[in-house]
Amino acid sequence: MAHSHKPEKEKPVGPSSKLVSLVAQFDDPDSLVAACDRARREGYQKMDAYSPFPVHGIDDAIGIRRTRLPFFVLAIAFCGLAFALFLQYYVNSTDESPLFPGYKFFISGKPLGVPGVPANIPVTFEIIVLSSAFATFFGMWILNGLPRFANPLHRIPRFRRATNDRFFLVLEAEDEKFNESRSRQQLEEWGATAIEECHLDLTDHEIPKNFKMAGIVLLFALLLPPALIYRAAGMTNRNPRLHVVPDMDWQDKFKTQTVGPNFSNDELVPDYLFGDPSAMRHPVAGTIARGDATGQDEFHLGYKPGSEPAPAHGGPNANTQDPAVQDPAAQAAEPEWLTSFPGGVQVSEATIARGKQRFEIYCTPCHGFDGNGGGLTNQHAQALAVQGKANWTAVKSLHDPAVKSQAVGRIFDTITNGRATMGPYQNQIPAADRWAIVMYVKALQQTGIETTGATAEASSATEAPAGN
């Protein structure tokens, strides 16, 4: 158990070391308590007793006041309660919040918000216990001034028995009543079996050199992150932001309006997954989207059933993908378009409002908000066409006299099946909404907006055959 170097190092007493306390050893707890009691009566205040186990009655003998730890724990427990309830409310009963949106999620019939609190009790209880336990554990060590990695008491070999089978009373030199020779005498009087001096080594306070160097290096290293942040402020960077935890943000799937995967290495001979570049697929032949059963009636056709002229007509079944197929002769033959809205479509402001909203989603990219063909797609494509970078047929103005005069059924058919370069929308827009759009278009045409010259001419020139 002998430690060779330490005791020798402590021996020299002079200006290099300072007496901090007298350490008196007692052989049993009762004499320790008695000595503590005597010391307190003598007026000593800065003293402490050391024992291998908590000695009964020592608190009163030294005059230790009851710790405030329980109140601290109670306060933390209340914080835990508030935090737990807030967390669960925020996370499962709210949808929108500025920082991290919650997930309002109705499940197993358990209500949200305050009525749902019973289901939150178990977690609340656990969080209270956890936070209180942490408060107790860390609060106790903090109040005790531990961890403490240097204590002159540990340098006294005899004091090692404080954790084994001996009991110590330590009188601190800082105490007003402390007088080395008198205190020593008193301790002997009170039954100490051995008395040691505890010295604080004043020479040993220098920080080792390599510690200093490491500290300086660390200090400079600490400056690096703020420096980098300062440098990065206001900088532009082409790289995407660092994504620390990807979770499910990127998935192997095709998004709408994107090109499907090309498996070919040869650019000229593409090998698309679906045979064509589009990642979106039309519904499988013979299937209908739920709620969009296309009956063969006025509501779904836009004309009186049975009035279609011939199989070759350019109406409902025209191949709109390829304008070259459009046969002017066939176009001449038209079914009997509905001139008023069919049954099931209510002419009302609400329907027009619905039509406006749908129009703004599906039609404005090309036709523009005013229906004059000023949509962004059209603008951009025309600009490219002027530079010779694209082949584009200008979008038709809805205020073109040729369109204005069209029957509602005819416009419905255009939306449903497309016309010339315009694609069909029957798969995107349910029939009722298509009628609502027609109603809105008709309303738009009544506003007196004039066809803009160039666009109107260009469109009427290219689309002339399509007009009636």
Partner 1 sequence: MASTIDMSLDNTFEDPSRRAPLVLGGMDYGDVTDNVAAIWEADRPPKTWYVVFTIALVLLGILGACLFHLIMKGTGVWGNNNPVYWGFPIVNFVFWVGIGHAGTLISAILFLFRQNWRTSINRAAEAMTIFAVVCAGLFPGVHIGRLWVFYWLFPVPTEHLAMWPNFRSPLLWDVFAVGTYATVSLLFWYMGMVPDIATFRDRTKTKLGKFVYSLLSLGWTGSARNWHRYEMAYTILAALATPLVLSVHTIVSFDFAVSQLPGWHTTIFPPYFVAGAIFSGFAMVVTLMVPCRSLFKLERLITIRHLENMNKIIMATGLMVGTAYGIEFFIAWYGGVKYEGFAFWNRAFGNYWWAYWIMVSCNVFIPQLFWIKWFRTNLVAMVIICIFVNIGMWFERFVITMSLSRDFLPSSWAMFRPTEIDILMLIGSFGLFFTLFTLFCRFLPVIAISEVKNVIPHDHHDDEHGDHSGAEVAAAH
User: Which residues inside 88-127 make contact with partner 1, applying CB under 8 A?
Assistant: 88, 91-92, 95, 99-103, 105, 107-108, 110, 116, 119-120, 122-123, 125-127
Closest to 420 measured CA to CA, from 379, 369, 374, 366: 366
Map tokens 């724990």 to a residue.
Answer: 73
Of 15, 147, 226, 448, which one interacts with partner 1 (CB under 8 A)?
147
The enclosing H or E element of 26 equals strand 17-26
**Cβ-based nearer residue to partner 1, 149 or 230:** 149
Exposed/middle/buried for residue 463 (C-beta within 10 Å: 0-12, 13-18, 19+): buried
Binding positions for partner 1, 192-211, rule CB under 8 A: none
**Cβ-based nearer residue to partner 1, 116 or 465:** 116
In degrees, to the nearest 5, what angle opens at C-alpha 78 toward C-alphas 73 and 79?
Answer: 95
**Cβ-based nearer residue to partner 1, 59 or 175:** 59
Of 52, 113, 328, 423, which one interacts with partner 1 (CB under 8 A)?
52
Closest to 324 measured CA to CA, from 316, 314, 315: 314
Beta bridge partners of 138: none
CA distance 274 to 253: 14
Cβ atoms 367, 399 nearer than 8 A: no
Of 20, 153, 385, 449, which one interacts with partner 1 (CB under 8 A)?
153
Map tokens 């809105």 to a residue.
Answer: 440
Does position 152 interact with partner 1 (CB under 8 A)? The reply is no
Could you tell me which stretch among 67-75, 262-270, 354-362, 389-397 binds partner 1 (CB under 8 A)? 67-75
Does position 288 interact with partner 1 (CB under 8 A)? The reply is no
Binding positions for partner 1, 1-20, rule CB under 8 A: 1
Does position 235 interact with partner 1 (CB under 8 A)? The reply is no
**Cβ-based nearer residue to partner 1, 111 or 328:** 111
Does position 160 interact with partner 1 (CB under 8 A)? The reply is yes
- For the four alpha carbons of 446, 447, 453 and 454, in that order, the dihedral sign comes to negative
CA distance 403 to 442: 10
Does position 143 interact with partner 1 (CB under 8 A)? The reply is yes
Map tokens 């998004």 to a residue.
Answer: 255
Binding positions for partner 1, 247-276, rule CB under 8 A: 247-249
Binding positions for partner 1, 30-49, rule CB under 8 A: 30, 36, 48-49
CA distance 410 to 441: 12
* H-assigned helices in 200-257: 209-232
Least distance CB 462 / partner 1 (angstroms): 45
Least distance CB 107 / partner 1 (angstroms): 6
Does position 408 interact with partner 1 (CB under 8 A)? The reply is no
Could you tell me which stretch among 218-226, 242-250, 262-270, 369-377 binds partner 1 (CB under 8 A)? 242-250
CA distances from 280 to 69, 151, 274, 289, 370 (A): 66, 74, 9, 15, 29
Whether the bond into 465 is cis, omega within 30 of 0? no
Number of residues that bind partner 1 (CB under 8 A): 76
**Cβ-based nearer residue to partner 1, 140 or 195:** 140
Of 4, 164, 236, 447, which one interacts with partner 1 (CB under 8 A)?
164
